[in-house]
Structure 1
Amino acid sequence: MYKMLSTLLLWGIYLFATAQYQPSARGEVVEHTYFSLSYKESHEQAEWVYYQLTPALVSGQQNRTDNFRPDSKVSTGSASLADYKSSGYDRGHLCPAADMKINNKAMHETFLMSNMSPQDPSFNRGIWKKLEATVRSWALSQGPIHIATAGILSANCACIGPNQVAVPLYFYKVIYAPATQMMIAFILPNEGSNKPLQSYVVSVDEVEQRTGLDFFPQLDDKLENRLEAQSKPEQWSFEAPASSPSTTQSAATDTQCTAKTAKGTRCKRQAAAGTTHCWQHKK
């Protein structure tokens, strides 16, 4: 009985957190236990995914599930696995699986197709993955932080699959740390990059201008205006976070061979370490 009450209390805390600093929305707002999202049917993906990232979420021991599936809570129907098949794009997480290791439910939610956006493999497995790991280190060092992230959706995006899923040219991530009263934001092109993360830092105001969204509107106006106008990467630590066995294992499962089979479909084998091809296709 005590365990059940504790679980219900914990879920209640995270349900509150998924709405605490939600951005403005032009799509259908969908509430999951550990994150919320605004789904844009015209682009078949979220215009934002919002969640509070805590040390407990990051430090959990739950393994990846890779249980990709449509989101039944999206009333118009979410994108499907068929949309990404043979597209050349990764099913890029918006709320990363490695951010939700607290339990099986949290992990399973990250594999809903409403939490995916088409990402170039070199971007998803490179600079974007590096940013996600850096953000996790901030959650551990600064306590709970609030994150909103997605692709920048526009009318000139290319599309993939039967449902015409838009391929964003850029992705953004905005972050608020209440304990230190700091904000930081990023806009990155959907392509591989060797540039330092600091070179992609922008103000939250710029992300709002590019997306048409209002982030952290629940804050006092004076505080919101001051923080969102800033662009100060020097306030944040960009040292490479230490890898744990669990995160290393998760990263390995992300690396699918990028080669095509004789039938024209993408190879399902895991790529060899440090490469983008499996043992057969790297020859």
Structure 2
Amino acid sequence: MKRTLTFLFILFSIAAQAQYWLPKSSGEIVKHKYYTLSYNEEEEQANWVAYKLTSKMIQGLAERKNNFKADPKVSTGSASLADYKGSGYDRGHLCPAASMKIDQQAMSDSFYMSNMSPQVPAFNRGKWKSLEAKVRKLTLKNDSLYVVSGPVFKNMKGEIGHNKVSVPGYYFKVIFFPRQKKTLAYLLPNRKIEKEIDTFIVPLDSIQSFSNVYFKGFDNAL
């Protein structure tokens, strides 16, 4: 009995830790196999998308199919592909497709519209893409990381589509290093950026106050 209780305690502790590192905000929590998000119905996109990234996930062989689609798990209905058509904005991944190569389901799930946010093309294909690549390099060095990405609904650039998807003024990316118990946070404007990525490193508190997404206790959880 004692051995069974110990085993159950370990399982409970692991499960609690896995949930504890998720940020806190308003919105509907939606869980997919390899990432979790908080959906903001008013802005028609996620408040944040969180996932654990491992070397195995990056080095997989799943192929990108670009199968963008509505997310059936969002109870109020997610944004649609039509919302972005002719808008002039990219369907910017919050959880990158290139980080979901572990299997074809993971790759396909990364194309749910709940994982998209309207990004200026020069931003999405420029420094945002570079930052995603940097996170993958850091993962290969550290074996695994926790990553949270999201839009900041300030200095908005208007709305797009029938569902009136908000165009955020900024984006954040927060990276947690389990071994070092260290946090690295970025806050970037949704526009073409010429400066180096690390110019946009900010204290984690800045992300919390600017975005209303809270990360209290993350370091302890790791």
SS in 2 for 1:47: strand
Shift of 1:182: 1.2
Note the 1:104-253 alignment, pairs <5 A: 104-154=104-154, 156-215=156-215, 217-220=217-220
Shift of 1:194: 2.0
* Conserved 8 A contact 2:149-2:174: yes
Shift of 1:217: 3.2
Letter in 2 for 1:182: K
Task: State which drifts further: 142-151 or 111-120.
Answer: 142-151
Indicate the structure whose relative CO is greater, using CA pairs within 8 Å and at least 6 residues apart.
2
Aligned CA-pair RMSD: 1.9
The ranges of structure 1 where at least 4 consecutive aligned residues each deviate by more than 6 angstroms after the TM superposition are: 15-18
Work out whether 1:94 is the aligned partner of 2:63: no
Work out whether 1:67 is the aligned partner of 2:72: no
Q: Which residue of 1 aligns with 2:76?
A: 76
User: How has the CA–CA distance of structure 1 residues 17 and 71 changed in structure 2, closer, same or farther, with 3 Å as cutoff?
Assistant: farther
Q: Which residue of 2 aligns with 1:51?
A: 51
Identity, in percent, stands at 45
Q: Which residue of 2 aligns with 1:241?
A: none
Shift of 1:96: 0.2
* Conserved 8 A contact 1:17-1:52: no
| Distance (whole Å) between structure 2 residues aligned to residue 155 and residue 192 of structure 1 | 15
Letter in 2 for 1:159: E
What per-residue deviation string (whole Å, max 9, x for no partner) do you get for residues 55-83 of structure 1?
A: 00011111101010000000000000110
| Distance (whole Å) between structure 1 residues aligned to residue 112 and residue 20 of structure 2 | 22
Letter in 1 for 2:97: A
What per-residue deviation string (whole Å, max 9, x for no partner) do you get for residues 203-253 of structure 1?
A: 111000101121153543xx99xxxxxxxxxxxxxxxxxxxxxxxxxxxxx
* Conserved 8 A contact 1:18-1:33: no
Unmatched 5+ stretches in structure 1: 1-14, 225-283
Which of 1 and 2 has greater Rg?
A: 1
Q: TM-score, normalization: structure 1? A: 0.70
* Conserved 8 A contact 1:38-1:46: yes
Q: TM-score, normalization: structure 2? A: 0.89
| Distance (whole Å) between structure 2 residues aligned to residue 118 and residue 17 of structure 1 | 32
Whose strand proportion is higher, 1 or 2?
2
SS in 2 for 1:137: helix
Unmatched 5+ stretches in structure 2: 1-14
User: How has the CA–CA distance of structure 1 residues 25 and 64 changed in structure 2, closer, same or farther, with 3 Å as cutoff?
Assistant: same
* Conserved 8 A contact 1:18-1:34: no
Letter in 2 for 1:63: E
Q: Which residue of 1 aligns with 2:8?
A: none
Letter in 2 for 1:24: K
| Distance (whole Å) between structure 2 residues aligned to residue 50 and residue 18 of structure 1 | 11
